[in-house]
Chains A and B, each alone.
Chain A
Amino acid sequence: MTTPAHPAPATQTPAPVVFEDVSIRFDGPPVLDRISFRVAAGETRVLLGPAGVGKSVLLKLVNGLLRPDSGRIFLFGQEITAMHEEKLLQLRTRTGMVFQEGALFDSLTIRDNVGYQLMERHLPEVEVDTRVREALRFVELERTYAMLPSSLSGGMRRRVAIARAIINQPDLLLYDSPTGGLDPVTSHTINELIVKERDVYHTPAMLVTHRLLDAFTMATHRYDQAAGKMIPLPEGQTDPLTTFLVLHAGKIVFDGSTPELVHSKDKFIQEFIA
């Protein structure tokens, strides 16, 4: 495979995410052991690895939902390793996160779920309504506006969660297994939304998945705005800003592009992607 010849955008601003020798353990051996990597501006990092390897833990470290035992984490250039929660809450408003099961507030309507951040900022109701409808239109679920999360299917809930994550136009998106437990058709819809978000808004992102199909869909497709759908890149081409991290036994065993991943000589990676 080769990569198309369009260069990465210039990065004047600090890398949205930097990990330096980060370790964390709960009870027992370290879940993550001296992890280092960075996410560049406009880049989408796909985090691969077997179930239970610590991918979700790593994602929660990125926006400070968990704190590391050692090492340093930088979010938008600011070190968050020991940052006070009050300050961290402010910084988190610049990120959007999609949780494994959506994590929608079950006592709030879809409108209030999607517009939660805007309501917290006490924006006028009219503006909240307009932006909620816009976000729901992006995920093609405008009709669910007044519904409760319990009346939606699993796939619809994930799409609403994506709408909630993007409504505030975040500077970084974090997707935690957004297609986990979904059927192939619904997974395709979710992947299309993530690719759409990547190619329309160019928001840097980290995507956790253990499904190789999802990961390679991200790398080998682009969103065609004119056609309004996701289409495959020409044969042999991959998206240069979609790169991979592979976790195994608490360590990053691969950090690189799609072609490098496919041609890796590492035995674990070869078995994992086989």
Chain B
Amino acid sequence: MPPELVPDKIEAYAKRSILAVQEYSIFCWEGVSSFFRAPHYWLDILTQGDLIGVGSVPIVVLTGFFTGGVLALQSAASLAQFGAQAYTGRFVSLSMFRELAPVLTGLMVSGRNASGMASELGSMVVTEQIDAMRALGTDPIKKLVAPRILATVIALFLLTIIADSVGTAGGAFVSVFISHQDGDQYFNSAYQALVYSDIIQGLTKPLAFGFIISTIGCFFGMKTTGGTQGVGRATTQAVVVSSVLIIFMDFILSRVMLWLFPPL
């Protein structure tokens, strides 16, 4: 590419990026504001809750359990060098509640559901089903997007609680049966380490992550162009963008939470 064209390329890329952010912001506003306008599709919210929430339980349980187990395995070996193996429970529970359960659950649900939403809505776009819905007098944002946003936010909140519990249990399993620690000591240590700010931090994040997963999945789905190839592209973009945004938002929220609840 000739060097004189580089600024034009950068300008075009910057404009495209800003336009995408603008479109996404408007899309989010439309999605959220539609909660407050009739009609409400309660049945669709329940259906999506079942698909997203109940459907994701197995992967969240498996991920949570083994993550807790790995944490216990790795930390027990390190802590033993300082004679602090008794703190394994504390290490596992703090890591799970504050960071790993919300982030890993978010990433798992993103991989499973952001892709699902993008491909489902994308297929509807390219087969003109979205246009047909509008032609029949139904707002696709209300009918398809709003239920997915609400269901994902609620489901991710509940799934994170499951991941917290199962992760702690996974750590206990490894501590008791592999590292041969006392179970009571593990749970005592795990319980005493937690304070309310940890719980608040751990349960605020899934609300933001759920919003990111659902809005990004729906946004890329609804903006699909270019036939079946476009559906594949939208699906990939939805997973990549939502995963990156989850990690980014985790950093922002952790910083804000540490500012709001400074460590004692």
Residues of A within 8 A of B (CB): 60, 63, 65, 85-86, 89-90, 92-93, 95, 97, 99-101, 103-106, 116-117, 120, 164, 174
Contacts and interface: CB of A to CB of B under 8 A. Distances in A.
B264 interface: no
Given A89-B138, A101-B128, 12 more contacts: A89-B137, A90-B137, A92-B136, A97-B132, A99-B131, A100-B128, A104-B132, A105-B132, A106-B127, A106-B129, A116-B138, A120-B138
Interface SS, A side: mixed
B139 A97 contact: no
B128 A120 contact: no
A97 B128 CA distance: 11
Contact of A103 (B39, B131, B137, B139): B131
B138 A103 contact: no
B138 A99 contact: no
B222 to A, nearest CB: 14
A105 B125 CA distance: 11
Contacts of A63: 135
Contact of A116 (B37, B134, B136): B136
Kindly list the 4 A-B residue pairs having the minimum CB-CB distance in the complex, ordered from nearest.
Answer: A93-B137, A103-B132, A103-B128, A97-B135
Contacts of A174: 135
Nearest to A56: B128
A101 B127 contact: yes
- What is the size category of the interface that chain B forms with chain A? 10 to 19
A99 B136 contact: no
Interface in B23-53: 37, 39
A207 B127 CA distance: 20
Contacts of B133: 105
Contacts of A103: 127-129, 131-132
Interface in B111-141: 127-129, 131-139
Contact of B131 (A65, A90, A116, A120): A65
A100 B127 CA distance: 9
A65 B137 contact: no
Interface of B: 37, 39, 127-129, 131-139
A60 B134 CA distance: 11
B135 A95 contact: yes
A116 B131 CA distance: 14
Contacts of B131: 60, 65, 99, 103
Contacts of A85: 139
A60 B131 CA distance: 9
Contacts of A60: 131
A63 B135 CA distance: 7
Contacts of B139: 85-86, 89
A69 to B, nearest CB: 17
B129 A89 contact: no
A173 to B, nearest CB: 11
A120 B128 CA distance: 19
B43 to A, nearest CB: 11
A99 B137 contact: no
A92 B134 contact: yes
Contacts of B37: 86
B127 A89 contact: no
A99 B132 CA distance: 7
A188 B186 CA distance: 77
Nearest to A176: B128
Contacts of B127: 101, 103, 106
19 contacts: A60-B131, A63-B135, A86-B37, A89-B139, A90-B137, A93-B136, A93-B137, A97-B135, A99-B131, A99-B132, A101-B128, A103-B127, A103-B131, A103-B132, A105-B132, A117-B136, A117-B137, A120-B39, A120-B137
Contacts of A105: 129, 132-133
A105 B131 CA distance: 11
Nearest to B128: A103
Contacts of A89: 134, 137-139
Most A CB within 10 A of own CB, among B37, B39, B129, B137: B137
Contacts of A93: 136-137
Contacts of A65: 131, 134-135
Contacts of A117: 136-137
A273 to B, nearest CB: 29
Between B132, B136, B139, the greatest number of chain A beta carbons within 10 A of the residue's beta carbon is seen for: B136
